[in-house]
Chain A
Amino acid sequence: MSVRVLIVDDEPIARRRLEALLAGEPSVEIVGESEDGESALQAIRRLRPDLVFLDVQMPGLDGFDVIELLGRDECPAVIFVTAYDQYAMRAFDVHAADYLLKPFDRARLRTALARATALEAADGGRLHAIVDTVRASQPLRRFLVKTATRVYAVRADDVETIEAAGHYVELRTGAGTHLVRDSLSAIERRLDPARFVRVHRSTIVNVDKIVELRPAFHGEFEVAMTSGRRLRCSRTYAADLTRVMQS
């Protein structure tokens, strides 16, 4: 029985090269190709490949986003492909995952292929653990927003405030609002503490988007944002906010 393979890479020549190398492997059947994370996600769900060659750096959703958005039981076996990404490589090593460094040769590809197909089944749990390790090693730079029709990324740079809203948090940017299913405290742990500060039990602000702080009653502050919004910073968080803004 042959292995059904999906190739994911944003560069056409890189896809064709992998395709050409895999053409020499009798046990491999290429079922599809994707040029970015979003189409890869759809292709994996639609085609149910056994194995995915997954480029790490891609526009929009990257390779790790794709895995994060797949359920553990939806995950196929994955061979990561990267030019160089020190965080990713460290995470692969930590979890003993196989990966290919571009450009790789046929021998290296065969080794990876043999290892991946020797495994009984895809290990979604381990893939998610790799993603968690990568995420933990650097501050959150963008948020993944899922809607009924699509998934997209919002840059942390563009976010003005993050507010708790039930089981969700609401991100406000200059362009609008976005709902992310997560808790405020879980998000806070992953944010860069030098840029995102809690001003209220249910609100985190991007200090780069603060225009001014105005002292109000009882040691509270009124926080004026670049969008023109005004927020209240409660006394509990006032000291934290002024410290971060001064640094």
Chain B
Amino acid sequence: MRARLPELGRYWLAAACCFTAAAFLFVGQVWIDYAYAGRRLSWGIALAVALVDWELWTLLAPLVLWLAARVPIARGRLVRALAIHIPAGIALTAIKLALETFIVMSVIGPGRGPFTLLRIHLSLAVYWAMVAAVQYAAQRRVARERELREATLQAALARAQVEALKMQIHPHFLFNTLNAIAGLMREDVESADVMMAQLSDLLRGTLASEGLQEVPLSEELRLLRAYLAIQQTRFGDRLRIDMAVEPGCDERLVPTLLLQPLVENAIRHGFALTPGPGSVAIHATRADGRLRIDIADEGAGPPEPLREGYGLRNTRARLRALYGDAASLSISPRQPRGTLARLELPGRPS
């Protein structure tokens, strides 16, 4: 919640404008105060006195703004904040009034001046007004950042949903799957039935994802298993799927629909383009309290350098918005052949 330095600069500028405006508004009051005390000032001198009064605050403002930013009045730290701001307010008020008296004396010369205790109250009020303004601006900024992050996440999730749907209605996948179901109907009605249900589960799973940013890994794998089972039926013995989930990973949270495009890449670009048998491996492990998910294929490997498509860029954007630097995705070649996509996630428990 701390304000940054350039922001403090802007606050200071705003404060300077306010104080200068106040000085001009108070010229009449200064003239009247001195008139009551028996001294008639010229308007020019009255303006000078008012400017000294208020521009001293402009000079002291950076200190107040910095302190207000350093010691925000936050719940749970209220006592500490008051213990700092109350004495600081009184001290600055004393310094300011002493300086003001000294400078005014040297401008208009010694003699009786107006005096009222209200000046002390006004000074304290100015101090607290600055603290309150900084507090308000900081809270606004935090709220705005939170809104922006929410909006970014929502948009990225929506894009991921669109991508997942596009994969499922990708003509090559959809029509080949329907063709396989049509083929199975002749030879094994039970298998045709199962495949039909898997395709339906897959379509429904994506349509029905309720806008949740994160789901337990087990939930995400359910959808993935339907997809993989369909591919397994289509390609038969040629495709070997190796899925291993270490105990304790199932309940960890992963971003919704994040694995699907990576697995789809492994099948479409890794497996399907390479003649002969091939495997796609999905391994979830726990390492240093984090969740690691590896997706490996035995295809031709990623082109060097990798040209990241829309799906990968969106995946990265979502990881950044959700976890900042605490998550990563790397795509690298495997030995002797193939591609490894490695996801590292905080994997918070659900």
Could you list which residues of chain A lie within 8 angstroms of chain B, going by C-beta atoms? 10-14, 16-17, 20, 35-38, 57-61, 83-85, 101-103, 155, 157-158, 174, 208-209, 226
Q: Given the interface contacts A59-B272, A83-B171, A102-B175, does A157 sit within 8 Å of B303 by beta carbon? A: yes
Residues of A within 8 A of B184 (CB): 13
Interface residues of B in 250-292 (CB under 8 A from A): 272-276
User: Are A20 and B300 within 8 A (Cβ)?
Assistant: no
User: Are B182 and A17 within 8 A (Cβ)?
Assistant: yes
> A101 to B174, alpha carbons, bound, how many Å?
12
Of B235, B274, B275, B304, which one neighbours A11 at CB under 8 angstroms? B235
User: Are A60 and B275 within 8 A (Cβ)?
Assistant: yes
Q: Given the interface contacts A83-B179, A174-B304, does A13 sit within 8 Å of B274 by beta carbon? A: no
Residues of B within 8 A of A14 (CB): 176, 179-180, 183
User: Are A83 and B303 within 8 A (Cβ)?
Assistant: no
> A11 to B272, alpha carbons, bound, how many Å?
10
Closest to B195 in A: A13
Residue B166 interfacial (CB < 8 Å): no
Closest to A152 in B: B275
Could you list which residues of chain B lie within 8 angstroms of chain A, going by C-beta atoms? 171-172, 174-176, 178-184, 186-187, 233-238, 272-276, 300, 303-305, 307
Closest to A60 in B: B275
Residues of B within 8 A of A174 (CB): 304
Of B236, B237, B275, B300, which one neighbours A155 at CB under 8 angstroms? B300
Residues of A within 8 A of B273 (CB): 59-60
Q: Point out which of B235, B275, B307 has the most chain A C-beta atoms below 10 A from its C-beta.
A: B275
> A38 to B179, alpha carbons, bound, how many Å?
23
Q: Point out which of A13, A35, A36 has the most chain B C-beta atoms below 10 A from its C-beta.
A: A13
Q: Given the interface contacts A59-B274, A60-B274, A158-B303, does A11 sit within 8 Å of B176 by beta carbon? A: yes
Least CB distance, B52 to chain A, in whole angstroms: 60
Closest to B171 in A: A84
Least CB distance, A172 to chain B, in whole angstroms: 13
Residues of B within 8 A of A16 (CB): 183, 186-187
The 5 closest A-B pairs by CB, nearest first: A17-B183, A84-B171, A157-B303, A60-B275, A83-B175
Residues of A within 8 A of B272 (CB): 10, 59
> A48 to B237, alpha carbons, bound, how many Å?
28
User: Are A20 and B303 within 8 A (Cβ)?
Assistant: no
Q: Given the interface contacts A20-B186, A36-B275, A59-B272, does A11 sit within 8 Å of B171 by beta carbon? A: no
> A209 to B303, alpha carbons, bound, how many Å?
10
Least CB distance, B20 to chain A, in whole angstroms: 50
Residues of A within 8 A of B181 (CB): 103
Least CB distance, A64 to chain B, in whole angstroms: 14
> A60 to B236, alpha carbons, bound, how many Å?
18
> A13 to B238, alpha carbons, bound, how many Å?
12
Least CB distance, B60 to chain A, in whole angstroms: 53
> A12 to B180, alpha carbons, bound, how many Å?
9
Closest to B300 in A: A155
A-B contact pairs, 30 of them (CB 8 A): A10-B238, A11-B179, A13-B179, A13-B180, A13-B233, A14-B176, A14-B179, A14-B180, A16-B186, A16-B187, A17-B180, A17-B186, A35-B238, A37-B275, A58-B275, A59-B273, A59-B274, A83-B171, A83-B179, A84-B172, A101-B175, A103-B175, A103-B179, A103-B181, A103-B183, A155-B300, A155-B303, A157-B307, A158-B300, A208-B303
Of B176, B275, B305, which one neighbours A59 at CB under 8 angstroms? B275
Residues of B within 8 A of A17 (CB): 179-180, 182-183, 186
Residues of A within 8 A of B171 (CB): 83-84
Closest to A58 in B: B275
Q: Given the interface contacts A11-B235, A16-B187, does A103 sit within 8 Å of B178 by beta carbon? A: yes
Residues of B within 8 A of A157 (CB): 303-304, 307
> A13 to B186, alpha carbons, bound, how many Å?
10
> A20 to B300, alpha carbons, bound, how many Å?
34
> A40 to B224, alpha carbons, bound, how many Å?
33
Least CB distance, A144 to chain B, in whole angstroms: 14
User: Are A102 and B274 within 8 A (Cβ)?
Assistant: no
Besides A84-B172, A209-B305, 16 new A-B residue pairs in contact (Cβ under 8 A), listed by A number = A10-B235, A10-B272, A11-B180, A13-B184, A35-B238, A60-B275, A85-B172, A101-B175, A102-B175, A103-B181, A155-B300, A155-B303, A157-B304, A208-B307, A226-B304, A226-B305
Of B237, B276, B305, which one neighbours A208 at CB under 8 angstroms? B305
Least CB distance, A13 to chain B, in whole angstroms: 4
User: Are B178 and A20 within 8 A (Cβ)?
Assistant: no
User: Are A102 and B186 within 8 A (Cβ)?
Assistant: no
Least CB distance, B274 to chain A, in whole angstroms: 5
Residues of B within 8 A of A57 (CB): 172
